[in-house]
Amino acid sequence: YRTEKTSIRMSKSPSLRRIQADIRELALDPSDQYYAHPLENDMFEWHFTIRGAEGTDFEGGIYHGRILLPPEYPYKPPHIIFLTPSGRFETNTKICLSFSAFHPELWQPAWGIRLILEALISFLPTPGDGAIGALDYKPEERRRLAKQSQSFCCPVCGPVETLLPKLDPEKKKSSRSGESAFSKQIAELRRLQQQREGGKKRIPKAKRDKSEDTTNVASKTPAETEPTTNVSTEGKLEEVPELSSDAENDNKKKVDSSTIKSDDKADRNDATVDENNNIPAQDTSEDEPQRLAAVDNRVEGEAEEVVNGFSNLYDPLLNVSILLMLCICVLLLKKAMHLYQELNELRATPIVDTLMEKATSAASSVAASAASSDEL
């Protein structure tokens, strides 16, 4: 699929118009670090190819994957799936990133396919932090997979090595020294990713440890409790006497009460689980809403520029329609002028005939009067 060889049917749908704008943007300003295109039969499914960043374990690697855009794009984020093993993300799995569908609260309509591709390259060297679809392979294994990725072949796109242009040493140096237009947004996304996934990783662990401890204690009934031995400071074994019936009952009550308290805490933690993704929500700091509001304000200007860029003036179909209407108006104007001239001619013709008739009748009357005067 190549945009220059395929005519794209324009649509009034905001999602399709935005997708077509992304296609034009990537076609007019291509990069040797990434490439993406939609499928011929589905504009909402894209296949992408990215290079591993230099100076990382992914250097020299070529990674292929899919971007699944929602019908509400660009107002909702897409799902991202990697097809090439990298040691950082699972394959054929929807991965959790701060700009994917797992975090719609962080998505901005001003972001598009280009930002997603550049962010993926930037997120490869970052730690997984227990996120969905994340892996933390050893550096040597990632370097091995980077070399192996060059021979990957997509059933739809073909060999991924042919999808990206060859690197030019001069362009390579200039691109290394240049800064991406989305560097600030990507840095902010990386910080939020580490903060959110780090919190999500700690909460289940503490919850799991507490539940395991209470389950193990509650599973032991007084009848099954056996005498245990403790090691004294002198290295001698001391036998612990068995509990009496009253002590056993008190211990059982304490265990039951602790189990109920732990269950209540677990229920409260489960209440904070994300209904869509079943992921426990992390404890956010007090200033996080202010920080998110600052991010929204910063990208609001960019969002307005992007939305204005997709006005009707840039719609080729509408431009052709306007041109045809202008031509029709010019033709109608010429026709109206021609009809007006003919009407004037038609109006002038009866007046001349009337004048000629009056002149003829006047001449005949004068001649008659002259003849009568001669006879007299």
Which residue among 176, 199, 222 closes a domain?
A: 199
Per-residue pLDDT in tens (0 to 9) along the chain, 376 residues: 444 444 444 456 889 999 999 999 999 999 999 999 999 999 999 999 999 999 999 999 999 999 999 999 999 999 999 999 999 999 999 999 989 999 999 999 999 999 999 999 999 999 887 889 999 999 999 999 999 999 999 999 999 989 998 876 665 554 444 456 667 777 777 777 666 655 554 444 444 444 444 444 444 443 344 444 444 434 444 444 444 445 545 554 554 555 544 555 444 444 444 444 444 444 444 555 566 566 566 656 555 555 555 555 556 778 888 889 999 999 999 999 989 988 888 777 666 667 777 788 888 888 888 777 777 6
Q: Is 247 part of any domain?
A: no
Give the separation between CA 12 and CA 340, rounded to whole angstroms: 41
Return the CA Rg of the chain.
40
- DSSP for 44-71, written as a single string: TEEEEEEEPPTTSTTTT-EEEEEEE--T
Q: Is 370 part of any domain?
A: no
Q: Is 211 part of any domain?
A: no
Query: Of the residues 96, 154, 157, 329, which is catalytic?
Result: 96
Q: Is 96 a catalytic residue?
A: yes
Q: Is 274 part of any domain?
A: no
Domain identity same for 193 and 323: no
Q: Is 152 part of any domain?
A: yes
CATH of the domain at 89: 3.10.110.10
Q: Which residues pair with 47 in a beta bridge?
A: 37, 66
- Of the candidates 142, 133, 120, 182, which has an alpha carbon nearest to the alpha carbon of residue 60? 142
Domain identity same for 191 and 326: no
Largest CA distance in the chain: 179
Q: Is 90 part of any domain?
A: yes
Q: Is 304 part of any domain?
A: no
Burial 124-153 (b: 16+ CB within 10 A, else e): bebebbebbbbbebeeeebbebbeebeebe
**Whole-prediction pTM:** 0.51
- Of the candidates 15, 11, 12, 110, which has an alpha carbon nearest to the alpha carbon of residue 71? 15
Which residue among 182, 199, 216 closes a domain?
A: 199
Which residue among 170, 199, 228 closes a domain?
A: 199
Which long-range contacts does 101-107 make (Cβ < 8 Å, 24+ apart)?
101/70, 101/76, 101/77, 102/132, 102/277, 102/279, 103/77, 103/192, 103/196, 104/76, 104/77, 105/292, 106/77, 106/189, 106/192, 106/292, 106/295, 107/76, 107/77
Q: Is 284 part of any domain?
A: no
For residue 109, give the amino acid letter. P
Phi, psi angles (nearest 5°) of residue 180 = -70, 150
CB 85 within 8 A of CB 71: no
What is the span of the domain harbouring residue 346? 315-362
- Count how many domains the chain has: 2
